[in-house]
Structure 1
């Protein structure tokens, strides 16, 4: 059961709220349509239910707010019109990344791909999918975690008749298994044909809440559908007789040889055709939907189709959306208005979903929703580290940045080492005096900035309530992953630069310095600090450019100031700090610990180290404060 109570959006200045005191419910085992014209508040209502927009009111999913659900992505699947994800990520990579975000087994991605009819397109980029295929991908993302409820914003908008029929058949199958389906539409015919219940909005308020059959009878115009090769002559005859009898009859020519007659009945239309000697191939009363009379028959299996029909395959690793103590209602034997068409006419406007394939012996039949009857699979925790790895490696920008850094670093190292006058650490870092940071540090900061910047630009976690969930686990995963990438990038840059120098200038001219451990610590500390600054800057200000600006702020603005402060006469030397700490704390440690601590302090005490520490501390505090204020999680 999905209940919306008193939903009211926050109004803009001098404007009424888009949604005002909206209260309705969507029952399990049924499809509910939220009907209204453009600007009636349908999308705003869905966003308020998902707590994506500010406002008042309550929404209960099976008796609990979404914020109290243990796994929101398993409670509700969301499709808000745009297919989420980076356009350069492959279809399979997108779904596998979302599997890691929701704690779903990765095999579920391939099952859903086959179920929504995208088999064979797994390697296609998300941005290159045609219109019908990208809508199927959006439905696959909504169904991935086997949610109990589906919230869809105009899912059939712009689709061809065959794709629209497939979509509504899939929604009907989900409802038949006990799930709740709520979708928005602006077409009354679509609502009457495909929904069990229709909630009509106007100006952000509910003006009607009816069963589909009652909605079709009271709010749609009844008509007579006539198919005849003499449609124009019959329309003229009906209009002439109605004008003579002073009756309000309207004849509207539809596609081909179809005629819709309003204000009359089958008997009167048949009598008129008989008097004028006109042949009639079809004559039927209809209410609310004439699409059944003009929708072409489903294509044969051999006919070409831009999007292949779905194949229902039982998932190998299902996940359940059901929580203990909140079992969904059983699917009704026959829901009102769940037939092929609503109203007196029996024309079919939607295709039923194909039946599931038989499961292997000893195993229950499972459906596309992944809920096997009579059994609740164990809940899996979300895996932010795996999610971040999929996100980082699934787009070409990471490899592009790393390759560019290596090429630029090798070129700078060869130029700097040509005369032998520049110190070896500067040469290996490829850090000319005119650059604020070495190429590797800039690349690490850019990769870190992309970790949040791409999430805000191409949100992929809408089903998890928000573009990017404010959760410290996700932040820690990003920090760990980009730190690892920075370390690998730094090692590759040093190895590539050293190899290029020795190959060009000879091994004798490029010796390895004896203090390489402290140099390596400073080098890797710089790269990791820049990567973390990019992550936190983009996370706080919600843009990759802000993350890059946070990285450049350290050497351009903060380091010169700190360099002046730290070299002043009032600054106390940190040379004896390890000994003073040992005297203060009491326990004695070995001289080796003294050397390691002194080396770490020398690295941190450098102006760049102090600047990075200050910037990272400030950004981390800002991220935590904004996360607590928004209070959004998976």
Structure 2
């Protein structure tokens, strides 16, 4: 049972709210259509239900609001707008990444690929899928967690008639299995064909909540649409002749000079107008939404042919504002409201805290990294540029060997490997905001510690592997080209290696945090470049000033404080680590990472407070 109670969006710029005091129910075992024209507030209503839009009101999914559901993806499947996902990612990798986010086995992706009819397209990239396959991918993404409720925003938009039929057959099968289906549409005929209940919106307000049979009877009756400058006179004579002939004819005055005549045909209305000399500007038979619904302030009272008086409450019944349907209106409904509340509350009646999303962040992040072609392209470009720069620097013989092995010319603020590590780190959050894949959570990219830790871990591992690969490949190529006797490994290689790998990890983390704070990959790259360009010169002036004190002997004093069990090897490693961190670049990078981490936490707290 889905229960939306008092949904009201926050007005913007002194405009009326897009959704105003919307209350309705979508029962399990039935398909409910949320009907309305463009701009009526259908999409905003769905976003309010998912707590993605600021506003008031509550939506209960089997007795629980979304923020009290421990695993939202297992309860609610969502399809809003375009299919989220990187266009270069394959269909299979996209679904597997979402499986990790939902916490279901990867085999679920293959199962749904077959179920929605995407066999043979697993290796196609999302950007090359036809519109029908694109919508089926969205449906598969919504069904990954085997949810009870489906919320779909115009799921058949752009589909052919055959694809539209298959989609609604799938939705019907989900409802027949006891699930709840709510989808939006702007076509009343589509709602009659595919839904069990129709909820009608106009200007953000509820104007109808009807069983599909009642909706078809009151809103889709055949009628004759007449446009004439003498609308009141024509309505009177048509009603008079129908009363005399004892025919059930009903005349409704619409906007301006337009009439809708129910229970007659074009020939009869045209003959009546001719006999009484009423000019006709338009005469057509129609079936469909007859214009402004009740409550919009535009529909005039209808006149019944029986007594010529305005029909009491007729406009309201025509628009579907009658009372709630009986409890047995949906034959497939098998869960009552009280039962759904019992299910939602659980035995203890204590609400559970939502689980961190994604549910398997490390596996999710690995799938995200390896699922796009940008990762191998960046790694290959870094190796090629580093080898080229190493050969050019080693040819002159004047550059220091560490700079040669790193491919780091004096003109560059950072070596190519550090820039590549920072770029991959920036992509880890930048692509999340550009191509959101976690839309069913609390926003596009949840500020969860587990997700941040997974991104930092994967970025650090990739940076370490990239840094080691660059040095090994550069050293091998230099020895092959210039000879092993000219390129010897320096004696202080442990300290140099620690500094090098620390620079790689620091740049990768700066890219991750910069993109997470400013929600763009370019901001992550800017945060990486800010360290050598802005902060390192400043740290050099601070650390080399005349009043700076030396920290020599700090490991020995720390060993005395800790106890006599401190081994000399640990002393040497600690001293080496302090020397690495004590360099201007190490201090600048540490301060930058600390500031970005604090900004990430602060922006996350502000966002929570705003919601």
TM-score range, shorter chain: 0.7 to 0.9
Give the whole-Å Cα distance in 2 for the aligned partners of 1:400 and 1:510. 29
2:585 counterpart of 1:608: yes
For residue 28 of structure 2, what is the aligned residue in structure 1? Answer: 28
Q: Helix, strand or coil: the match of 2:395?
A: coil
Q: CA offsets per residue over residues 55-75 of structure 1, 9 Å max, x none?
A: 111111111111111111111
Matches within 5 A, 1:357-396: 382-396=359-373
Deviation for aligned residue 1:626:
2.2
RMSD: 2.8
2:50 counterpart of 1:73: no
For residue 140 of structure 1, what is the aligned residue in structure 2? Answer: 140
Give the whole-Å Cα distance in 2 for the aligned partners of 1:198 and 1:40. 15
Give the whole-Å Cα distance in 2 for the aligned partners of 1:629 and 1:48. 20
Give the whole-Å Cα distance in 1 for the aligned partners of 2:584 and 2:7. 53
For residue 86 of structure 1, what is the aligned residue in structure 2? Answer: 86
Deviation for aligned residue 1:497:
0.6
Matches within 5 A, 1:107-506: 107-222=107-222, 263-264=263-264, 382-506=359-483
For residue 574 of structure 2, what is the aligned residue in structure 1? Answer: 597
Contact 1:36 1:200 in 2 (8 A): yes
Contact 1:168 1:194 in 2 (8 A): yes
Deviation for aligned residue 1:420:
1.4
Deviation for aligned residue 1:587:
5.3
Q: Helix, strand or coil: the match of 1:208?
A: strand
Give the whole-Å Cα distance in 2 for the aligned partners of 1:516 and 1:470. 39
Deviation for aligned residue 1:330:
13
Give the whole-Å Cα distance in 1 for the aligned partners of 2:333 and 2:364. 40
Deviation for aligned residue 1:208:
1.1
Deviation for aligned residue 1:267:
14
Q: Helix, strand or coil: the match of 2:8?
A: strand
Shift in CA distance, 415/388, structure 1 to aligned 2, threshold 3 Å: same
Give the whole-Å Cα distance in 2 for the aligned partners of 1:459 and 1:265. 53
2:603 counterpart of 1:626: yes
For residue 351 of structure 1, what is the aligned residue in structure 2? Answer: none
TM-score (norm 1): 0.76
Give the whole-Å Cα distance in 1 for the aligned partners of 2:608 and 2:143. 25
Give the whole-Å Cα distance in 1 for the aligned partners of 2:201 and 2:526. 46
Deviation for aligned residue 1:500:
1.1
Give the whole-Å Cα distance in 2 for the aligned partners of 1:22 and 1:465. 22
Give the whole-Å Cα distance in 1 for the aligned partners of 2:59 and 2:106. 31
Q: Helix, strand or coil: the match of 2:201?
A: strand
For residue 370 of structure 1, what is the aligned residue in structure 2? Answer: none
Shift in CA distance, 448/330, structure 1 to aligned 2, threshold 3 Å: farther
For residue 236 of structure 1, what is the aligned residue in structure 2? Answer: none
Give the whole-Å Cα distance in 2 for the aligned partners of 1:331 and 1:99. 37
Q: Helix, strand or coil: the match of 2:95?
A: helix
Q: Helix, strand or coil: the match of 1:469?
A: coil
Q: 555, 558, 567: which is aligned to 2:535?
A: 558
Give the whole-Å Cα distance in 1 for the aligned partners of 2:51 and 2:607. 11
Give the whole-Å Cα distance in 2 for the aligned partners of 1:516 and 1:332. 76
Deviation for aligned residue 1:249:
12
Deviation for aligned residue 1:331:
13
Give the whole-Å Cα distance in 2 for the aligned partners of 1:25 and 1:334. 15
Give the whole-Å Cα distance in 2 for the aligned partners of 1:214 and 1:192. 10
Deviation for aligned residue 1:223:
6.2
TM-score (norm 2): 0.79
For residue 255 of structure 2, what is the aligned residue in structure 1? Answer: none
Give the whole-Å Cα distance in 1 for the aligned partners of 2:59 and 2:566. 59
Contact 1:8 1:20 in 2 (8 A): yes
For residue 232 of structure 1, what is the aligned residue in structure 2? Answer: none
For residue 572 of structure 1, what is the aligned residue in structure 2? Answer: 549
The structure 1 segments of at least 4 consecutive aligned residues displaced by more than 6 Å after TM superposition are: 245-250, 265-269, 329-332
For residue 294 of structure 2, what is the aligned residue in structure 1? Answer: none
Give the whole-Å Cα distance in 1 for the aligned partners of 2:533 and 2:458. 26
Q: Helix, strand or coil: the match of 1:514?
A: coil
Q: CA offsets per residue over residues 587-628 of structure 1, 9 Å max, x none?
A: 541111111100001111111111111111111112122223
Contact 2:30 2:332 in 1 (8 A): no
Shift in CA distance, 447/334, structure 1 to aligned 2, threshold 3 Å: closer
Deviation for aligned residue 1:466:
2.2
For residue 55 of structure 2, what is the aligned residue in structure 1? Answer: 55
Give the whole-Å Cα distance in 2 for the aligned partners of 1:420 and 1:567. 30
Contact 1:19 1:204 in 2 (8 A): yes
- Structure 1's unaligned 5+ residue stretches are 225-241, 251-260, 270-284, 290-328, 337-378
Q: CA offsets per residue over residues 349-406 of structure 1, 9 Å max, x none?
A: xxxxxxxxxxxxxxxxxxxxxxxxxxxxxx9992110000000000000000000000
Deviation for aligned residue 1:421:
1.4
Give the whole-Å Cα distance in 2 for the aligned partners of 1:101 and 1:147. 14
Give the whole-Å Cα distance in 2 for the aligned partners of 1:42 and 1:181. 15
Q: CA offsets per residue over residues 432-488 of structure 1, 9 Å max, x none?
A: 010000000000000000000001001111123421111110100000101110011
Contact 1:470 1:630 in 2 (8 A): no
Contact 1:470 1:631 in 2 (8 A): no
Q: Helix, strand or coil: the match of 2:440?
A: helix
Q: CA offsets per residue over residues 107-142 of structure 1, 9 Å max, x none?
A: 000000000000011010000000111000000100
Q: CA offsets per residue over residues 238-294 of structure 1, 9 Å max, x none?
A: xxxx9xx999999xxxxxxxxxx975479999xxxxxxxxxxxxxxx99759xxxxx
Shift in CA distance, 334/533, structure 1 to aligned 2, threshold 3 Å: closer
For residue 360 of structure 1, what is the aligned residue in structure 2? Answer: none
